[in-house]
Structure 1
Amino acid sequence: MLYMSKHPYGLNVSDVQRTLSVAVGGSEAGQVFEGIRRFDIYVRLEEPARNRADVIGQLIIKNAAGQRIPLEELAAIEEVVGPRQITRENNQRFITIQTNVRDRDIGSFVAEADAAIKQQVDLPPGYFLKWGGQFELQQQANKRLMIVVPITLALVFLMLFVNFRSLRNALLIMLNIPLALVGGIVALWLSGQSLSVPASVGFIALFGIALENGLVLVSYLNELVKDGVSIAEASVRAACARLRAVIMTAVTTALGLFPLLFATGTGSEVQRPLATVVVGGLVTATILTLLVIPALYHWFADKPADMSESH
């Protein structure tokens, strides 16, 4: 690093920087041709001289009056440790500090780290912190999910209502969502994982499977009641008849996700949370669907007269 001193030599900083750039970085002096190949010729100091401050200080700078002044008389040459690259964003300099978070969720780590920095670090005026990386992506994804998930559930509820023409039947099928949610949360807790964007995507996939199982069961319940079977008997018969279909749906899905559940290589940080949520949710959704929905059907079923009119 150069610190220019004030001397009446009539030199500009650019003159000194130009000489130093040629001596250390090199300057193109011509080209050499070998057949059809062409090579540039660079002129600069030898490598040992480029790394020695005393040699660099002997560089001669010529001013407009013809004086030949050594560089060491114009500037103080010091070796300092600084950033290897100066980057800018939005016309502002910034420096990146990277860290890897393990065995805990990123959200709580950022909150704790941000609080510690505010208490212990006094930033100069004009300096500010911005958390990026996976945390920034997670925050952006969570904002989108907060909009997309309610809209999706509302559309699903509307389609169920249009299909069954029954508000109570649609609500009964939507009860599968919290039943599946319990298993996904417990699976994350048992595996020591935290709620992340892949886990959130897994919950969305899990909701679709749970709603499908509930749709199959409630449809069969309505058919039995429409045929004159009592609600109590229809609940038992529907649970037994749809047992194989519901279990096969859960088992085939879980078997397909088992390789992701035990993944350890590249991409496992995305695959494992998604598979954990879906597999754990399928366990509770499958069991509770066959037990809770038939048991609650008595309160959510339409009367036979209403069902005959809707169908």
Structure 2
Amino acid sequence: VERSLFYRMFLSVLHVCLRLRWITIMVLIAITLIAYASFGLVKQGFFPPSNAPIFFIHYWGPQDQDNRQTDQQLHKVEQYIMANPLVDSVTSYVGRGADRFTLTYAPQARNESYGLLLIRVADKDDIETLSQALMADISLLDLNADFYLERMQFGPGGGAKLAARFSGSDASVLRDLAQQAERVMRADGNLVDIRHNWRDKGFAINGHFDSFNAGVSGITRSDFNDTIQYASNGLKLGQVQQGDYTYPIKAKMSGLEDSAINALLNSQVWSSQQRVYVPFQQVSKGVELVSEEVLVHRRNRLRTITVNADPGANDTAGKALTRIKPHIEAIVLPDGYQLEWGGEYESAGEAQAALGQGLPAGFLLMFIISVLLFGKVRQPLIIWLIVPMAVVGVVAGLLATDMPFGFMSLLGFLSLFGMLIKNAIVLIEEIDLQVEESGDIRQSIIEATLSRIRPVMLAAITTILGMAPLLFDRFFADMAVTIMGGLAFATVLTLIAVPVLYSMLFKVSFNK
């Protein structure tokens, strides 16, 4: 039968590879090693930003700011954002985050100085330029506040993509460690929204309770504290309910012309035992204004401060972490203190660990099935020798398209193994059948390979074309590139590497 030009060219290449099988194997091994070495050049990610036309702006005022001030400031920011023609709507939340309207959103805990702006735009492609322009402008509307941008994610959300957690017992030591980490992040130059979650310290009045004189006067510590509250923030007497809302009733010293400290020094303390008023200075060793921690987070019952940051434009969390991780881990930790990495690094690690728990058993089951399918060892060995080589097409595809290797890419990479094994099984089974019929193993290897060109290539081409529409989907794009690039190279592996490995393991010479 007269074969086409393509078949004749492929046959010539196949003959050369079979005659020089050791060189062919060495070239394939070298290419595979280069691909694994080049994997470090591939961007690392987890889940891409959502294609929903929504993004968030987090507002953090001074820690001692109350709801009314936060509401006033957010109202100004909201009016400014709504004046932009690219914005469809703005929803603001004061003192808390939004209700959890999707699983990928993690609401912020209640805090009077916190506000959230949920912004919807007409076109999702405008989010990048619009958000950067808004962040530059609204920061001038409240110079005492911090604004942080957040994009909706397809995967687990909430918080920054980079997070370094320091845990220990002493708050001042933890703050010092956090400041060192912040200096490292700022020195990087490509990170944005650098902050820690303990915020600023707040001011508190320390009345230095004199237990001896207070005991003589019949004043308890509760009486003493009530006086301080009455002269400063207000003493809560009860609450009133209006509809579904409850409001506190507070009594506060009126006509405060002096500072709160002077007003407190000149106040009277009610003795609940002797039923008389006693001068405050009689039961106090002195009053001073001190700074103290207002917002302390704990993790596993340990005080934990988290330094957060986000990668800048055209940067990924994986690359940013690679740059700063050695420098932050070089910070000397006192005894009893520890450093943990959170953010996208932790989320990706947990997801990959959960996925990896079933991989050994899955691969073992696949190997057992392939052995039972052929009833021999050498044929399954050929199949599993070419599986690691699939990474060549994956790395080439991701580098060519400049896409990150994320969680969806990992799923595509694992599914690629099944496609590669299927093609190898089809070819090896055809070789075995022709060997049984003709008895000429050399001719069977060549003829079986030629006869499987069309089905193997058609299966690869149809799969690649079927994945092509997913290239324009933000969620599946990296998975599509992984499968398309890996399958394109896997076709070459099936038609070249399988016959070469078969001739090697079965000791078939093509030198003559």
User: How far apart are residue 285 of structure 1 and its match?
Assistant: 0.1
Look up the match of 2:233: 24
Query: 2-side partners of 1:156 and 1:38: how far apart?
Result: 60
RMSD between aligned residues: 4.0
* 1:179-221 CA-partner distances (Å, limit 9, x unpaired): 3222112323334456554433332111111001111121222
Indicate which of 471, 479, 495 corresponds to 1:290: 495
* 1:99-147 CA-partner distances (Å, limit 9, x unpaired): 23463563x754653432354x444554321112322234445556666
Paired residue secondary structure (1:129): strand
User: How far apart are residue 158 of structure 1 and its match?
Assistant: 1.6
Look up the match of 2:454: 244
1:32-181 alignment runs, 5 A limit: 37=243, 40-44=246-250, 54-55=259-260, 58=263, 60=267, 62-64=269-271, 66-69=277-280, 75-77=287-289, 85-101=295-311, 103=315, 106=318, 109-110=320-321, 112-119=323-330, 121-141=331-351, 143=353, 148-181=358-391
User: How far apart are residue 283 of structure 1 and its match?
Assistant: 0.9
Q: Which runs of 5+ in 2 are unaligned?
A: 1-203
Paired residue secondary structure (1:86): coil
CA contact (8 A) 1:28 1:40 kept: no
1:56 and 1:208, CA in 2 relative to 1: closer, same or farther beyond 3 A?
Answer: farther
Query: 2-side partners of 1:256 and 1:25: how far apart?
Result: 68
One-letter code of the match for 2:399?
W
Query: 1-side partners of 2:412 and 2:471: how far apart?
Result: 12
Structure with greater helix share of residues = 1
Structure with greater strand share of residues = 2
The TM-score normalised by the length of structure 2 is: 0.47
Paired residue secondary structure (1:131): strand
Higher relative contact order structure (alpha carbons within 8 Å, sequence separation ≥ 6): 2
Query: Could you say which structure has the larger radius of gyration?
Result: 1
Paired residue secondary structure (2:341): coil
Look up the match of 2:417: 207
Paired residue secondary structure (1:85): coil
CA contact (8 A) 2:470 2:480 kept: yes
Matched, 1:258 2:468: yes
CA contact (8 A) 1:184 1:280 kept: yes
1:45 and 1:112, CA in 2 relative to 1: closer, same or farther beyond 3 A?
Answer: farther
**Identity among equivalent pairs (%):** 25
Q: Which runs of 5+ in 1 are unaligned?
A: 304-311
CA contact (8 A) 1:184 1:278 kept: yes
User: How far apart are residue 236 of structure 1 and its match?
Assistant: 3.7
Look up the match of 1:4: 207
1:12 and 1:132, CA in 2 relative to 1: closer, same or farther beyond 3 A?
Answer: farther
How many residues matched? 289
The TM-score normalised by the length of structure 1 is: 0.73
Query: 2-side partners of 1:104 and 1:41: how far apart?
Result: 46
1:298 and 1:40, CA in 2 relative to 1: closer, same or farther beyond 3 A?
Answer: closer
Look up the match of 2:482: 277
1:6 and 1:32, CA in 2 relative to 1: closer, same or farther beyond 3 A?
Answer: closer
Paired residue secondary structure (1:203): helix
Look up the match of 2:440: 230
